[in-house]
Every structure is written in structure tokens, then in C-alpha cells.
Structure 1
């Protein structure tokens, strides 16, 4: 039994590679019925394409500009109906080994028809890749964070984020224009983006390049004697007494 037709999105920054996958999918259509419903040249375009047309499976190149394939898969996992993911790699031995150990399917370029057919057959019985596995495969920090809002998956460029603030089970990401609610741990965000953000308080991380100064806290607060001033937003962020010794050296650099 060939089974129902699988809808497919091809994601690769190289047009010849997308064309080859499209041709191979046509070649194996009798064995594994499929229909290519879209293509994307990078991860950002892939998210937009999937918002418009959800698919059963996404064939995703790993090495791409703007957003690599591993990060894209992490964002797609937040969709209400995420596609099955089949990664495509040219030579990354680390990735191949990791995928094998974690039962994540992959194709090695140049892709062969029978290997592609086997991957698509596996998709029918596969489970979504866990966020923990994908986080372990990520090399370096993500370029974007993502959140659900009114049925849409929104991508927030990390360089646009001025601060991250924990409140109960959510973290608020503040840009110059607005706030976004993230379903992420502030501690994990601090670990991933330690080069970009500095901890001011147990509940606050601020972008280092967004801080323009510090001032004394006028209110009588035993915990927060200082506040951080940020560019482009009126909010003043608390700096805890515990964090002030670490933050103070950064404050001195700003004043010099």
C-alpha cells in the first residue's frame, strides 16, 4: 500500500539542491505518493510558507544563511500542527552522528532516490523530534526567539530584544516597539545568550548594548538600590544588590 499523499515543503538556500529534491520526489511518487506544495530559500521564508500552507513533512537543509535548519526545526516544533522533519546535510559528520543517536532522520547530499523514499516512509510512523534533542544539536545561539500569538508563530530577532523579564510561567521579551510572551526559561536564555545579555536581577536580563546608564532607585527598596536605563524604552530595570557588584564593572565602562 502506497498510503496517502504526503505534502512536502523543500527548504534549501541553493536552487539546484531544491530542484534535485523536487525531481527525486517526482521519481518516487509511485512508491511514496507526495506533492511539493512549497519551497523556501531560508528558515524565515519557511516559517511564512508554513503559516500559509501547513505540510506533512519538511525537507530542511542544515547550513543556511539567516537561520540554519536546526533552529528552524526548533521554531516549527511550536506550531499547532508541526510537520515531520527530515534534515539534509552535505558533510556534517557531527550532525549525522547526533541524528543517528537520537533517531532523527537525515539525508546526506547528494540525495539518492531510495534513501529519500525510505525517509518519507519513516515519516508516516515517526514522532516529533523533542525540543531537548534539537537544543542539543544547535551549534551556537539562535538568531530568533518565537512565540504564539492569535494562532500565528511570530519570530523575534534576538538583536531587537532590549530585555527579558520573567513573570510567573512566562518570560516577556521587550523590543523598542512591543512586548512578546515566550514559553521559555530565563535561566536557559541566559546560558544561551550570555554574550548578549547581562543579568540585572533574578527576574531580569538586559541586552548589554541597550543599557545607557544607571541611577539610584528613589523608592525605598532593600533589594534594588540601582536601576538600569535603556535606550528606546521608558522602563527602568531593577538591579539587585546581589548582582550590582557584577554589573558595576559594566557601569564603569559606560561612564568612561
Structure 2
């Protein structure tokens, strides 16, 4: 199974011992994984570093000489896709102001391991949501045909990046979609209609509830209608329906009558 890249964390605190302890907690967290990419002893140092570098999360003290944590959070607030901010401070009285600045969380010192883990999980979820927005808006690296090369999924606080070439099909089930690869099934948000528009010619809508990679279609056959496989197309006659067999997993998915010709064309194009 693919693993998500570790969260990139910047620690900003004017006390070296506080930074050292926080680094140990961050890098000792097992899930989601996180790494401290830089430390800064003041708000000004953090801003200088952020001019040339990127991170996913800033762990930020409030009271510091010069530009304090609240000032730094305000400076970051207007930036597109700015890093998430979690305040880490011994002064709980600033919590309201911190949340007015759209802080992701507010931790009081000494920081408890489980509270930090919860904050990191929320940050990982935000990273996943932003990656999905970038992919939707065409900001992900594109393949030669203009389609996104990866599908971003947020699953139990983790960001998974599934290469599009590994996807066999998407299937709508209740309020969610199932993404199927040769080895894994993942649950994700979204709609088949949006995916169909985004993914272009590499995928084929075989049924109202299924979008299949053309390269994964192995055969098209008549099948006795059974639940989850082929089904009559709404006339209630119980006649044989159509289904496609999916490579690697040997699963059968129902094909609507109107899509049979398109499936045959896709199969012919693979020869």
C-alpha cells in the first residue's frame, strides 16, 4: 500500500529547550508521520525561511521578542495555500485570538503526546484536502493527455497518493466512492461525473455507478443478472445483462445497455 509523505513541520519558539522537546514529540509520532524541516527562534526568522521554503504545518509559540506568534500567523493568513498553524504556548488566554486567526489547534505547554498527535492528524487531513483542490483545479502534474497523474485520498488522517495508472475502477456506493487497485480498495469522497470529466479518455463510464480504466477491461459478456454484477437495465424483464471482467482482480461489473457499444470499441482499441 502506498504511504503518504511525512508532514513537513516548522517549529517557531524563542526557547531552544522547548524547540528540542517539541522536535522529539513530532518526529516520534508514528501516525501521521512528520519531520521537522526547520526551526526558528523568532517570527522574523520564520518569515525569512518561509520566503524560500515550504512546509505543511507551523508549530508556533505566542510570546516571543519582536514579531510574536500572533503577528506571524496574521502575516501568513493571506497567503494562498499557507501552512496550517498550531499554537504551542504556556499562555491559554490567547486561545480566542488564535482561533480568530484560523489556527488549526491551540496546545498548552507542557504538550501531551496524544494532543499533538491529534493536531498532526488534523494537519494531515488539511494537506489531503488541499491536494485534492489542486488536482481538481489542474495544479497537479499532468500526463501527456492532460489528466492528473495521481488521485489524492484522505483516509483515516493520512494522505494517500494513488498513481492513476494503478486505478482499475471507481464505483459509487451509497454516499462514497470505492477506488480499486490490483491490491487495495480505498474509500473516497467525490462523484463519478466529476471524475469522468477530469480523467478524460483513459476511463470509461460503463454504468451509472462505475467508471473503469479502459486498459483494465478484459472481456465483455452476457451474464445472468445478479446483485453487484450484471443487471437488467430497468425494464424488469430479467433478461441477460452485460458485464465486463476487470483485469488483475477478475471482478465483473455491470454494463448498461447504452454503454455496450463504447465498451466494445474500447476492447477493440486494445488489440
TM norm structure 1: 0.50
Listed one character per residue, the Cα deviations across residues 48-94 of structure 1 (whole Å, up to 9, x for unaligned) are xx8xxx6229xxxxxxxxxxxxxxxxxxxxxxxxxxxx9xxxxxxxx
User: What's the secondary structure of 1:232's corresponding residue?
Assistant: coil
Residue 242 of structure 1 corresponds to: 258
3-state SS of 2:80 partner: coil
Please tell me whether residue 183 in structure 1 is matched to residue 189 in structure 2. Answer: yes
- State the Cα distance separating 1:175 from its structure 2 match: 0.4
Structure-2 residue corresponding to 1:160: 166
| CA distance in structure 2 between the partners assigned to 1:134 and 1:199 by the alignment | 20
User: What is the root-mean-square deviation of aligned Cα atoms in Å?
Assistant: 4.3
Structure 2 equivalent of residue 142 of structure 1: 148
SS of equivalent residue, structure 2 residue 225: coil
Tell me how far apart the structure 1 counterparts of residues 135 and 160 of structure 2 sit (CA, whole Å).
19
Gaps (5+ residues) in structure 2?
1-10, 14-18, 20-37, 60-75, 83-99, 104-125, 234-239
> Per-residue CA shift, 1:69-124, capped at 9, x if unaligned?
xxxxxxxxxxxxxxxxx9xxxxxxxxxxxxxxx97379xxxxxxxxxxxxxxxxx9
Map 1:40-189 onto structure 2 (within 5 A).
Answer: 55-56=57-58, 104=80, 135-136=136-137, 138=139, 140-189=146-195
Q: Residue in 1 aligned with 2:44?
A: 32
Give the match for residue 223 of structure 2: 217
Aligned length: 164
Query: How far off its partner does 1:186 sit?
Result: 1.1
Cα distance, 1:222 vs structure 2: 2.0
- Hey, what does 1:204 align to over in structure 2? 210
Distance 2:80 2:138 in 1: 11
How far the C-alpha of 1:229 sits from its partner, in A, is: 1.2
TM-score (norm 2): 0.48
Where in structure 2 are the equivalents of 1:8-23 lying within 5 Å?
none
Structure 1, unaligned runs of 5 or more: 8-21, 41-45, 58-85, 87-101, 107-123
Whichever of the two has the greater Rg, that structure is 2
Residue aligned with 1:242, SS: helix
* Equivalent position of 2:246 in the other structure: 230
> Does the 8 Å contact 1:5/1:32 carry over to 2?
no
Q: CA deviation at 1:187?
A: 0.9
Distance 1:249 1:167, change over 3 A: same
Q: Secondary structure at the match of 2:261?
A: helix
